[in-house]
Amino acid sequence: MNLLIATSNPHKLDELRAILAPLGIDPVGLDSVPGSDSFPEPEENADTFEGNALIKATAYAKMTNRICLADDSGLEVDALDGAPGVHSARYAGVGSNRAERDAANNAKLLAELDNIPDEQRSARFVCCICVASPSGEVLATSRGTFEGRIAHTPRGSNGFGYDPLLVLPDNRTPAELPADEKNRRSHRAAAAREIAPQLARILKRV
């Protein structure tokens, strides 16, 4: 049974597949499941990344009758009391496609941090992963982070979302990293490494 990754975000799917490939795991995305375009999208109404990952994993596992991995991820900014947090993807509330939403989200974040000095711009990407069985049982969970501070202007053309804004300790943003390096260092990579031993045991049993 192939592991199913519950996401409609092609960037996230590519990233997770690249991260899991060295572990011998070749997952498939929702678009590989017949009829997936008619699945009702579960309401991600939890107030934590962990809660939303659990909602998605259990819902899609039941709908597809497959072992399903879902993640919820976003950006936490300390000067904004952890915002945008679970609202990261639609922080600005505008945009008709992913590129427009990303641009609006980045612009809103920079505006809210205007006049905030570097030493108070600490932030991190957070990724929480949940794996669920077709019965809806939670089989494994993990959490990873990617620490840095928010830049004053976007930097780099790789990645997506807030990648151009998080300045890492080596003074590069994730959008300035080669894809293979980002996939080794990212919050998703950290969460995937933490869950990998459990995931390998789960998939061996089926």
Q: Which residues are catalytic?
A: 72
Residue 56 near residue 128, CB atoms below 8 Å: no
Question: Tokens 């989200």 identify what position?
Answer: 105
Euclidean distance between CA atoms 6 and 58, whole angstroms: 10
Euclidean distance between CA atoms 16 and 8, whole angstroms: 12
Euclidean distance between CA atoms 197 and 195, whole angstroms: 6
Token reading at 120: 């108070």
Which DSSP symbol is given to 38? Answer: G
Longest CA pairwise span in the chain (Å): 54
Residue 105 backbone dihedrals phi, psi, to 5 degrees:
-60, -45
